[in-house]
Amino acid sequence: MLDDYATAPIGEPLRAMLAFLEKLTLEPDAIGPADVEPLRAHGLSDEQIADAIYVCFLFNIYDRLADAMGWAIPVQASFDAGAKRLLKAGYK
């Protein structure tokens, strides 16, 4: 999934959410209420959708701060370990 969510062996609700978050990140002006409807059609609640948007928002803020301030990028092995832990345990 870390390489390509579009072809990864994941559930369709997660794939739809990741596509939504990608659009939210890359084309924020193009997002509207119609973009949320497919997520609901996949059974995602408004609370789940909002939680994902909040996480996306925070990661985007951190990324922009890191770029602007020249913060060091974590060692790849540490990043991979953290990503795998989040995939297994989630954010809660």
Domain of 51, CATH number, reads 1.20.1290.10
Interhelix angle 12-26/33-41, rounded to 10 degrees, is: 170
Give the pLDDT of residue 24: 96
Kindly tell me if the per-residue pLDDT of 92 is higher than 70: no
The reply to whether 2 falls in a domain is: no
**What is the rounded average pLDDT of the residues 59-68?**
89
**What is the rounded average pLDDT of the residues 52-67?**
92
The reply to whether 66 falls in a domain is: yes
Domain span at 85: 12-89
For residues 59 and 35, give the distance between their C-alpha atoms in angstroms, rounded to a whole number: 20
Q: In this structure, are residues 36 and 23 in contact, taking their beta carbons and an 8 Å threshold?
A: no
Residue-wise pLDDT for 7-56, tens only, equals: 999 999 999 999 999 999 999 999 999 999 999 999 999 999 999 999 99
Count how many domains the chain has: 1
**pTM of the predicted model over 0.85:** no
Burial status of residue 17 (CB atoms within 10 A of its CB: 0-12, 13-18, 19 or more)? buried
**What is the rounded average pLDDT of the residues 78-85?**
77
Give the pLDDT of residue 86: 79
- Short-list 5, 18, 6, CA closest to 55: 18
